[in-house]
Amino acid sequence: MHCLDCLKTVNFVSASFEKRNNADMSDITSGKRYRNMTTELLWKWIITLTLNTDGVSVFRTSRTGSLWPVYLTINELPPECRFSLKYAIVCALWLHPSKPPRQAFLQLLMSQLKELSTNGETFKTAEGLQHCKVILIFITCDLPARAMILCMKQHNGQYACPYCYNPGVTIGSDHLHQYWPIKHDAIARTHASVVSDVTEAVDLRHPVKGMLNVVSPLLALPGFDIVDGTAIDWMHVVYLGITRSLLDRWPTFSDEIYSIGDKVTFLDKRLLSIKAPDHFSRIPHTLKEFSTWKGSENRSWLFFWSLPVLRGILPREHYIHYSILVVGCRLLCGMKISSNDIDRARQLLLKFYERHELLYAALTGSTPATFCH
């Protein structure tokens, strides 16, 4: 089905096209990138999209194959509608033992989105039929899918960060770039610099600064910024990344000052005694099974359970350091976020990352490759 036909099935009566003018951010539509893009365009009615994709296991063994759905969400819809199955626009499905081909996977969709971005389309709205411009402004996916779509090296490769030119440090016998030390002078990537790197990579027929010698279909889409338009994978970076990494490290390294391996039973007693309010979808589970926790369980641990459970058990310096992570992340998850919140969160998370190198012997690989990204 043509993605244009999918969009025509959506009733935009409940969509909010009002541009928000207050300084606080409460949704994607109040973000700087959204405001800039929609203000620069001369169309009265504009629909913006976010593209999502990820591999899903549908068989017992991955060798049988995995399912890769590609779907779009409409940013102007209220969040309760935006992420519901009723309003998700499924554009493609890939079911095969191998991963989707980098270029062919999104090529047709990009050509259709290019048509919508250039010529627009007529849709039903609260004010009747309106001719709307439709533009893709964001993509969001996990690290392997992101590397595939952007035609970059995987997240453990040299120059794998899609936002800056920090090459990373090689550690271990496998020679993977698993650690990115703090570099205050790291040069930021831009859309223009990525285009230049890709052009050079294609000419030389080998990767250049992390970009493969394959052109991402996203580069053919007018107005799409391949750097600013690539969202950070919050769940895998924070909940299933640094949070799980610390949960794994604290009880495992028995010779370290921060080891809590002999106190897990006591910590479990504290954790399991917590009476979670009814609105929590998952109650606390034993720390001995943390490796099986879902993203939502790691989120609850990070924001609600961990600080009272670890208090007095984790060494004071490590506890304060971990608290900085909790507060910094929590500031970015509020219902409304002010510019002061963002500045404070940036300072806290930078301080956490800098101290992490000193407290956890970063060159042993304790810092997840994803945290720099």
Each residue's pLDDT tens digit, 343-353: 999 999 999 98
Better-predicted residue by pLDDT, 197 or 279: 197
pLDDT for position 21? 53
Q: What is the residue type of 224?
A: F
Q: Which helix (H) or strand (E) holds 331?
A: helix 316-331
Q: Are 183 and 175 in contact (CB under 8 A)?
A: no
Q: Residues 38, 31: contact at Cβ < 8 Å? A: no
Residues 256-312 pLDDT 10s: 999 999 999 999 999 999 988 888 877 888 999 999 998 899 999 999 999 999 999
In 141-208, which ranges are E strands?
A: 169-171, 176-179
Give the global pTM: 0.83
